[in-house]
Amino acid sequence: MTERRLSDRGLGDRGLGDRGVGGRGVGGRRLLRAAPFDVLAKLRQLNWAYVLLLCALAGVGYAALYSVGGGSPHPYAATQATRFAIGLVLMLVVALTDIRFIARLAWPAYGVALALLAAVERFGHVGKGAQRWISIAGIDMQPSELMKVALVLALASWFHRASWERVGNPLFLLVPALAVAAPVGLILKEPNLGTAVITAAIGGAVFLAAGVRLWMFALALAPIPLVARIAYGHLHSYQKARILTFLHPERDPLGAGYNIIQSKIALGSGGMWGQGFLHGTQAHLDFLPEKQTDFIFTLIAEEFGFVGALAVIGLLALIIAGGMLIALRCRNQFGRLLALGLSVNFFMYVFVNLAMVMGAIPVGGVPLPLVSYGGSAVLTVMLGFGLLLSVDLHRDVEFPAADLT
């Protein structure tokens, strides 16, 4: 039955969908026990165009890391390719998982992520001036990255069962508001202002899409200037330095402003057509800091010029728009919200990283997903894309709110 529904997608799917959920919550279990045919059918139905976009982005990352390595797959590009391969498998497994099963796992996942985030405060080790990393089974990871995905899952699950009227009720919003506030507070305590703001923004986007009334947003956003002023007083000195450096990078060209100035110099050195692959002088002569991680886009822009950099931005835009399109095409609220939240998450990564390397916002230690070197980020991002593809694959599944209780 499920197989036929999937193959007949696009015609009279409403009815088929209705029949599809006839099993009342057992569909997920069925899928888990599904025969290999089901898996093959799902694989055929998978949004391969989207997978191809992701592979293209990883290819860009491979080329850039190959260049960072001085024209060699070592030490970065090869490792990163292996990680991407692992991530790809993870993504496909998640993509084939039934959306209802995922929905049921939303709150438990949120709980685990929050626990990890709390643990990082106690046991995490210092990296780049803040406690952000934790080692689990030998893998360094940033719980805050996992938290963003778990938060989107939890919020999508919460609002899935909410009607338009219920969303208008402020009391109904108390739980999701707390679900956002708890991780944001913990991340702020790490302290990682950038990720906290991004996490809050993702939460806000899901709230908005879920139909929370606009006047509530106005009410929530109004006191921000005041809060920001008070918060600035409580910022760590390195965070203040970042903001001051951003406002006046020439203030301290060899110190805090060095990264921004060198990044701009490298971008300018690229010009319209670039210095050529493997010929970016600034990056290869080590003037450009963190070129394999945060500033990898600068290296691309220096070697391939404005044209190449714009092409990469175009590719990123396609991936973001593709995610939003998946959200718009989805027929169930959980999938819609999940896809939108994940797309916003990816967009925030991209925007913060690019704006940072162009000197448009304060430097924040945010990598460019799938392009920057780093293991934990690849897995988290691929987990997100797995969920996104699962939403796409199960976009016609309708499951009532009761399924989640």
Partner 1 sequence: MRREARRTGVFTRRALFVLGGQAGLLGLLGARLYQVQITEGARYATLARQNSVSVRMLAPPRGRILDRFGTLLAGNKQNWRALLIAEQTRDIDATLDRFSALVPLDPRERARIRRDVSRQRRFIPVLVRDFLTWDQMAQIEVNAPSLPGIVVDVGETRTYPLGPMLAHVVGYVAPPTPADVEEDPTLALPGMRIGRTGVERYRESALRGTAGAVQLEVNAYGRVIRELARQEGVPGEDVELSIDATLQQLAMERLSAERSASAVVLDCRSGEVMAMASTPSFDPSLFDTGVSAAQWRAWTTDPGAPLIDKATVGLYAPGSTFKMAVALAALRAGAITPQQTFFCPGYFELGKTRFYCWKRGGHGTIDLHGAIQQSCDVFFYNTALHAGIGRIAAMGHSLGLGTTLDIDLPAQATGLIPTRQWRRAHGHPWTLGFTVIAGIGQGFVEVTPLQLATYAGRLASGRAIQPRLARRIGGRALSPGAGSGTAAEDWPLLDVAEPLLDAVRRGMFAVVNTPQGTARASALPAALGVHMAGKTGSAQVMDVSRAQRKLGFHTSGLPWRFRPNALFVAYAPFDAPRYAIAVVVEHGNEGADAAAPIARDLMAAALTRDPANRTLPPGAVAAAGPGAAT
Binding site for partner 1 (CB under 8 A): 163-165, 167, 205, 208-211, 262, 264-272, 281-282, 284-287, 301, 305-306, 309-310, 313, 316-317, 320-321, 324, 327-328, 333, 336-337, 340, 344, 347, 350-351, 354-355, 358-360
Q: Which long-range contacts (CB under 8 A, 24 or more apart) does 104-112 make?
A: 104/28, 104/403, 104/404, 105/153, 106/150, 106/153, 106/154, 106/156, 106/157, 106/404, 107/154, 107/157, 109/149, 109/150, 109/153, 109/154, 110/150, 110/151, 110/153, 110/154, 110/179, 112/150
Give the distance, in angstroms, between the CA of residue 46 and the centroid of all CA atoms in the same chain: 20
Q: Considering the complex, what minimum distance in angstroms separates the CB of residue 154 from partner 1?
A: 18
Nearer to partner 1 by C-beta: 42 or 100?
A: 100
Q: Considering the complex, what minimum distance in angstroms separates the CB of residue 312 from partner 1?
A: 10
Question: Partners of 127 in the beta sheet?
Answer: 130
Q: Considering the complex, what minimum distance in angstroms separates the CB of residue 351 from partner 1?
A: 6
DSSP element (H, E) containing 126 = strand 125-127
Nearer to partner 1 by C-beta: 143 or 323?
A: 323
Q: Considering the complex, what minimum distance in angstroms separates the CB of residue 112 from partner 1?
A: 28
Any alpha helices (H) in 69-192, and if so which ranges? 77-96, 99-123, 143-160, 164-167, 174-189
Q: Considering the complex, what minimum distance in angstroms separates the CB of residue 36 from partner 1?
A: 35
Q: Considering the complex, what minimum distance in angstroms separates the CB of residue 163 from partner 1?
A: 5
CB 280 within 8 A of CB 303: yes
The rounded distance, in Å, linking the Cα atoms of 58 and 69 is 16
Nearer to partner 1 by C-beta: 86 or 201?
A: 201
Nearer to partner 1 by C-beta: 284 or 394?
A: 284
Nearer to partner 1 by C-beta: 117 or 153?
A: 153
Q: Considering the complex, what minimum distance in angstroms separates the CB of residue 211 from partner 1?
A: 4
Asked if residue 362 has a cis previous peptide bond (ω within 30° of 0), the answer is no
Q: Considering the complex, what minimum distance in angstroms separates the CB of residue 157 from partner 1?
A: 15
Amino acid present at 256: A
- Residue 63, helix vs strand vs coil: helix
- DSSP 8-class letter at 129: T
The rounded distance, in Å, linking the Cα atoms of 98 and 104 is 10
Give the distance, in angstroms, between the CA of residue 370 and the centroid of all CA atoms in the same chain: 10
Asked if residue 191 has a cis previous peptide bond (ω within 30° of 0), the answer is yes
> Is 137 exposed, middle or buried (CB count within 10 Å of its CB: 0-12, 13-18, 19+)?
exposed
The rounded distance, in Å, linking the Cα atoms of 392 and 208 is 21
Nearer to partner 1 by C-beta: 4 or 14?
A: 14
Distance set, CA 267 to CA 5, 28, 250, 299, 349 (Å): 51, 50, 17, 8, 20
Nearer to partner 1 by C-beta: 79 or 281?
A: 281
Nearer to partner 1 by C-beta: 64 or 379?
A: 64
Nearer to partner 1 by C-beta: 18 or 32?
A: 18
Q: Considering the complex, what minimum distance in angstroms separates the CB of residue 309 from partner 1?
A: 6
Nearer to partner 1 by C-beta: 131 or 281?
A: 281
Q: Considering the complex, what minimum distance in angstroms separates the CB of residue 218 from partner 1?
A: 15
Residue 60, both tokens: 């860009």
- The end-to-end CA distance of the chain, in Å, is 25
